[in-house]
């Protein structure tokens, strides 16, 4: 079947990890990279011996590119995805798919009309610990699930990232709230209504270079999300508390027969525990030896394989768009008050072959 040609748009910090993964897969050819900063693209291209495209038009003119991997800034996602789809390329995009649900839905429709695949991050639900948890939930290992807690304490971006302002403009909800929401929707299916509250805990921040800036988007959000079937999810996310300073981390699924504790929604090797009702949790061994940390290219690899095998890929644009609708509903709720009803749906992803 040959190899699948892949090109990266956006060469920031995360691009290095994506590129390393993609270059390691024998069935994928990393053909090149592109960025609005030519020097940044040149550095990443040189590291992997690939082409640095001068423009996105030049990238899209390369007939060997089958999949565009969009790793640009949040606000550029919609435009980059749209241009790639209109050029006849399959797309996998970093999160969120778009910043407005209407734009996310438009991208899903466009991909369908063009007969193209659209995939979206985050895909940490494909990790070994997460897939093990999803299998246990499918098998009702803790009985009927009624309540889920998701904690996203992502710390203060300005203490480690040289350009933190863009993250704060988007906010913790849209930047990292997407991770547990994607796992929750993979487990529970579509959500149906959202009620949220938000506040700004620490409005005055200082960059690594000493320049001060003021937050314009809440750095703390709590959302109550109701799923089809009545399961309730309480999501808490912030850009204030560091994970190392709290016991509140990961996800907890609570059912009639007990609880399933996924201690991390990010790393593929996150500790996983199970407990019968009123008993102490015990460790659960993953279904296979877990990848240490996050294999960033796993969803792109699955997308390429799905195209070759003519099967659905797992990290779909439909699910990513539904998560965007949840995010937008939460924002609408905390800005205007009240409960917001959701309208979109999606087909939950199939488990990995080793997790069936």
- Domain borders along the chain are 4-123+296-313, 128-293+322-355
Q: What is the SS3 assignment for 326?
A: helix
What distance lies between CA 211 and its chain's CA centroid?
30
For residue 36, name the pLDDT band (cuts at 50, 70, 90): very high
Average pLDDT for 208-222:
98
Read off the tokens for 305.
Answer: 């394989």
Domains 4-123+296-313 and 128-293+322-355 share a fold: no
Contact status, residue 156 vs residue 242, Cβ threshold 8 Å: yes
Contact status, residue 174 vs residue 97, Cβ threshold 8 Å: no
pLDDT tens sequence across 9-21: 999 989 999 999 9
Contact status, residue 329 vs residue 194, Cβ threshold 8 Å: yes
- Within a 13 Å sphere around the CA of 117, how many CA atoms are in the beta-carbon half? 26
The whole-model pTM stands at: 0.97
Question: Above pLDDT 70, what percent of the chain?
Answer: 100
Domain 128-293+322-355 has CATH 3.40.50.720: no
For residue 251, name the pLDDT band (cuts at 50, 70, 90): very high
How many residues are recorded in the chain?
A: 356
CATH architecture of 4-123+296-313: 3-Layer(aba) Sandwich (3.40)
Q: What angle do helix axes 38-48 and 13-24 make, rounded to 10 degrees?
A: 30
Torsion over CA: 238, 241, 247, 249 (sign): positive
Q: pLDDT value at position 1? A: 59
């Amino acid at each position: 079947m040959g190899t699948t040609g892949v090109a990266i748009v956006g060469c920031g910090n995360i691009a290095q990890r994506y590129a390393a993964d993609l270059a390691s897969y024998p069935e994928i050819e990393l053909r090149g990279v592109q960025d609005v900063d030519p020097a940044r693209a040149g550095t990443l291209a040189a590291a992997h011996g690939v082409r640095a495209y001068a423009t996105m038009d030049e990238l899209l003119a390369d007939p060997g590119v089958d999949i565009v991997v969009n790793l640009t800034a949040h606000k550029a996602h919609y435009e980059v995805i749209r241009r790639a789809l209109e050029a006849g390329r399959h797309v996998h995009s970093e999160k969120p798919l778009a910043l407005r649900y209407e734009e996310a839905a438009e991208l899903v429709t466009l991909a369908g009309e063009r007969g193209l695949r659209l995939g979206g991050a985050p895909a940490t639900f494909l990790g070994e610990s997460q897939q093990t948890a999803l299998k246990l939930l499918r098998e009702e290992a803790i009985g009927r699930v009624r309540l889920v807690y998701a904690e996203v304490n992502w710390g203060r971006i300005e203490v480690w990232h040289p350009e933190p302002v863009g993250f704060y403009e988007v906010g913790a909800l849209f930047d990292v709230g997407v991770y547990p929401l994607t796992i929750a929707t993979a487990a529970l299916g579509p959500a149906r209504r959202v009620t949220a509250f938000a506040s700004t805990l620490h409005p005055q921040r200082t960059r690594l270079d000493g320049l001060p800036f003021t937050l314009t988007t809440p750095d703390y959000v709590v959302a109550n999300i109701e799923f089809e079937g009545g399961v309730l999810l309480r999501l808490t996310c912030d850009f204030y508390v560091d994970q190392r300073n709290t016991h509140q981390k990961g996800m907890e699924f609570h059912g009639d027969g007990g609880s399933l504790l996924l201690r991390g929604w990010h790393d593929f090797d996150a500790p996983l525990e199970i407990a019968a009702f009123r008993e102490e949790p015990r460790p659960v061994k993953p279904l296979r030896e877990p990848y240490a940390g996050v294999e960033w290219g796993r969803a792109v690899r699955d997308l390429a394989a799905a195209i070759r095998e003519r099967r659905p890929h797992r990290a779909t644009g439909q699910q990513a768009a539904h998560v965007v609708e949840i995010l937008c509903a939460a924002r609408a709720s905390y800005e205007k008050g009240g409960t917001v009803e959701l309208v979109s749906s999606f087909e939950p992803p199939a488990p990995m072959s080793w997790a069936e």
